[in-house]
Amino acid sequence: MRKSIFTLLVIIMSLPAQAKLQVVATAPNLGMLASAIGGEHVAVEVLAPPDRDLHYLEARPSMMAQLRNADLVVSVGADLEAGWLPVAIQNAGNAGIRGGQPGYFSGAQHTDLIQTNQAADRSQGDVHTKGNPHFYLDPVRMAEVGNALADRLSELDPGNGSDYRARAQGFQSEVNARMTEWHERTEDAPGVLLYHKDADYLMERLDVTILGYLEPLPGIAPTGKHLSGLVQDLKGKQAVVLYTDFQPSRAAEFIQRQLGWPHHQLSSQVQPGSDQKAYFELIDRWVEAISR
């Protein structure tokens, strides 16, 4: 009897462990979401560092190596990575993660985008014709994307589908619980002046007024003429200037000198490998800056 039990244990221990799904996310916030939904069933890598502008990366051999064995690519979408991700995927030699395949997931396709249907007019700066892609700073939209991601993971790995969907519901429940506090903390916020349209979703979610942008047009560096115009238009008002860690501080410092407004440089992405707690702490830092 003991010999039979021992033999059975040896057989069980010799069986190969179920392989984890190999997930590659383009941005750290999406890597966080994939980890939160996938749990122990996925291994997640991230292509972009957290302090780089996703508009302007280049396809590198290291990216292609990461993509070569991926089961699923999780992208922001809405053409945010259009300058480098298609090239990286094409050169990775992995047909299963190309656009239209189950192994390619675009978050922007699973939530409502703002600023859609804009004409491709270069005179208006770097316009995203499919809509503003920066939904990843809106926790509610991230929860929506998380539910869709759970469905895609379930399609690729049906045996763990109930776990993926339960984790997505858990993420959404935590978002819902935190939104009340975030709304209360920003209820009396006077408004913000942003560098770029990358925090528009969060401001809309929190009902915070955007008084303008340091960029004269999306993707165009601030000019003296534009900043002087902002100062004239905003005199007598109170607000806070917010910009991300890859955007220069010079324009924000000019506004501070002219109007006395505080300015805060914030990360728009968590560190690669972060969990959902780190994402909620990231939103907390934005809420704190808005409400000062």
If asked whether residues 98 and 201 sit together in one domain, one would say: no
Same domain flag for 143 and 249 = no
Do 40 and 173 have their domain in common? yes
- Among 152, 178, 204, the domain boundary falls at 178
Q: Is the pLDDT of residue 46 over 90?
A: yes
Enumerate residues 6+ apart whose C-beta is below 8 A from 23: 31, 34, 38, 42, 43, 44, 45, 70, 71, 72, 73, 74
83 within a domain of the structure (yes/no): yes
149 falls within a domain: yes
pTM of the predicted model as reported, rounded to 2 decimal places: 0.91
Instruction: Examine residue 9 and state whether it is found in any structural domain, yes or no.
Output: no
Same domain for 50 and 93, yes or no, is: yes
Same-domain pairing of 37 and 139: yes
Polymer length of the chain: 292
Say yes or no: 55 and 198 in one domain: no
Say yes or no: 32 and 131 in one domain.
Answer: yes
Q: Is the pLDDT of residue 10 over 60?
A: no
Q: Which of 133, 155, 178 is the last residue of a domain?
A: 178
**pLDDT confidence bin for 12, thresholds 50/70/90:** very low
Is 266 within 8 Å of 289 (Cβ atoms)?
Answer: yes
Give the CATH number of the domain where residue 19 resides: 3.40.50.1980
Alpha-carbon distance values, 104 to 75, 82, 83, 181, 278 (Å): 8, 14, 17, 35, 25
Instruction: Answer yes or no: is pLDDT of 255 > 50.
Output: yes
55 band by pLDDT with thresholds 50, 70 and 90: very high
What is the number of structural domains in the chain? 2
Is residue 143 situated within a structural domain? yes
Does one domain contain both 194 and 128?
no
Parent domain of 207: 179-291
